[in-house]
Amino acid sequence: MTQMYHQADANPSLLQGKTVAVLGYGSQGRGQSLNLRDSGVNVVIGLRPGGASWKQAEEEGWQPVPFAEAVRDADIVMVLIPDMAQADCYKEHIEPNIKEGAMLMFSHGLNVHYGMIEPAANIDVAMVAPKGPGYLVRTEYEKGAGVPCLMAVHQDATGYAHARALAYADAIGGTRGGVLTTNFKEETETDLFGEQAVLCGGAVALVRKGWETLVEAGYQPELAYFECLHELKLIVDLLYEGGISRMHEFVSDTAAYGALTRGDRIVDDRAKETMKQVLAEIQSGEFTRQWVEEYKSGSTNYRAAQKAECEHPIEKVGAELRSRMSWLNRGE
């Protein structure tokens, strides 16, 4: 049975007197670093000299150093740079400098699971993966709460990998929300599938096609935007707060009846079969091979597809409507 850990299960003293090197200061790097610091952990930020985040880190009270220097004296090294940059960073900066008995950590298992990083046998390898973006990891911590985390131990060279990983999760606030155990394979494959089939790929495609259907039928683009994109947040918030049952509690009977009798016609068994194909591509490594090849070739196709999506007419309509929503302009 899967184990869930909370604050009482962690031993914060395992990080006392230790140095944690966080490589990267993007969304997760910033959130996790600030939480670690506020938990009393000695943190060193490792960055590429001259990189975009170097100045930001300095402005927020850090004294960043190059990757290799950060790794050299660290007891724990958390790698939070982009996935496609991790393998080169490991070979060039981490592998030659990480000390025996240290712990190498990740917040996503892609590089280890697919063999792009093969850690030395004399170090611990673990993962603590917050189930939320870095800004939420930070803001929830500041409120006294925490974002739930996944935790996995891939390699236990010292016999303390599990306890040290749990102490790390506790220091970033994860034990406040609960820490669920998994492994690198399960985390990587489910994370990729969720992003592609539901959260980023499936949801955006559903919104876009719904908007196109209404506009092509002659309805106002602005009205279609409200119905297919804007109000989606209201439904997602209900799902987030209390699951599907809470959504049914708060939407109208008409909405609930329409959802129950039409939803499976939209996302039907053919869509599920396609989802199975997408999952198979993830499991076989085909998706990762394709993404690595695209990245190494300059990301031309990726950037073109991203540009086309961001230039879809729904984006122009949405930008005009959102400009009138003062609470969004205030960042609320």
Residue 202 in tokens: 């499936």
Question: Is the predicted pLDDT of residue 1 greater than 60, yes or no?
Answer: no
Position 329 scores a pLDDT of: 62
- 28 belongs to an annotated ligand binding site: yes
Cβ within 8 Å of residue 68, ≥6 positions away: 46, 92, 93, 96, 97
The confidence band for 332, taking pLDDT boundaries of 50, 70 and 90, is very low
Residue 137 in tokens: 């990891």
Distance (Å, rounded) from C-alpha 163 to C-alpha 9?
9
Q: What is the pLDDT of residues 115-124, one digit of tens each?
A: 999 999 999 9
Position 171 scores a pLDDT of: 98
Residue 108 known to be catalytic: yes
Q: Domains plus CATH for the chain?
A: 4-182 (3.40.50.720), 199-267+299-328 (no CATH)
Distance (Å, rounded) from C-alpha 198 to C-alpha 192?
10
String of DSSP letters for 93-158: IITTTPPTT-EEEESS-HHHHTTS----TTSEEEEEEESS-HHHHHHHHHTT----EEEEEEE-SS
Question: Is the predicted pLDDT of residue 331 greater than 70, yes or no?
Answer: no
Q: What is the pLDDT of residues 73-112, one digit of tens each?
A: 999 999 999 999 999 999 999 999 999 999 999 999 999 9
Residue 162 in tokens: 């599990």
Catalytic residue among 108, 113, 162, 312: 108
Cβ within 8 Å of residue 178, ≥6 positions away: 4, 5, 6, 148, 149
Q: What is the pLDDT of residues 28-37, one digit of tens each?
A: 999 999 999 9
- 195 belongs to an annotated ligand binding site: yes
- 231 belongs to an annotated ligand binding site: yes
Closest by CA to 247, choosing from 258, 204, 203, is 258
- 249 belongs to an annotated ligand binding site: no
- 26 belongs to an annotated ligand binding site: yes
- 31 belongs to an annotated ligand binding site: no
Rg of the chain on CA atoms, in Å:
22
- 25 belongs to an annotated ligand binding site: yes
- 202 belongs to an annotated ligand binding site: no
3-state secondary structure of 225: helix
Position 50 scores a pLDDT of: 85
Q: What is the pLDDT of residues 126-149, one digit of tens each?
A: 999 999 999 999 999 999 999 999
